[in-house]
Amino acid sequence: MSRNVPLHGVVAYPITPFGPDGGVDLPKLRSLVDRLLAGGVHGIAPLGSAGVLPYLSDEEREAVAEAVVSQVAGRVPTLVGVSALTTERTVHHARFAERAGASALMVIPTSYWRLTDHEVFRHYEAVADAVSIPIMAYNNPATGGLDMTPEFLARLLEIPNVTMVKESTGDVNRLHRLVQAAGEDVAFFNGSNPLALDAFVAGATGWCTAAANLIPRQTIEVYDAIRRSDLPAALRSFRRQLPLLQFLVRGGLPRTVAAGLEILGFDPGPLRLPLRPVSEAERGELKEILAGLSPAEVS
């Protein structure tokens, strides 16, 4: 089956910076986007977990989407998160992102009540019917509270413009099961940082990661080495990054990314409550890790 897949490689998830007044700092967000593009990432994905999507108002979400898409200005594809508790709000944000010029949309089903497979399927159908651009189905039970099996994700790919899957459980066997269920041409993206190398070896089209806020070129090294079939080089690069990737997961996004950006000289502003900064001990650990990866940038 031929699918419209506009993304590949390292897809970077910027955090959403805030100003002293607690509001979204759009100039700083644009600067962060430029920083990611200068690092060579292959795509920009605002309004993911790192971008604290659930903590933003509708107006803030729309401002972030517009700012990122306009700043990227077509230099790489943009993948805009549009998820919401209700189908109506998800459709609303999907239509807005399409009008703003997004290349694709990312949808994770979230709910206070546990949804049935039928309800989730109809949710994706409604969003797909409302827009014409590609959709990435995102599975992350740790944040969304719902776990979509590889076999169910393969069913979602039968919806014409649901063309990509992001799998973030950290279970490489799920990636193999997805290929078995959906076919060798399935476009799946890894969202679990410590699984990046295994996912590429399993055939992942790309790596969705907030680590690119801190080490964009190193994340791209892994992808480039895989592309030229140099597994030893990919392994060496990945193992150098692994302590940071593990730290980011253990400490939780976006607090760890915000701390890392500050250590590297980029002020991300305050976190949005109830999120709090990392501890001094965690900051010291992160600074030591980053000094081993980007010694010239650590302040």
Closest by Cα among 169, 139, 167 to 249 = 169
Do the beta carbons of residue 188 and residue 166 sit within 8 Å?
Answer: yes
* Catalytic residue set: 138, 166
Tokens 């949309």 locate to: 105
Do the beta carbons of residue 268 and residue 17 sit within 8 Å?
Answer: yes
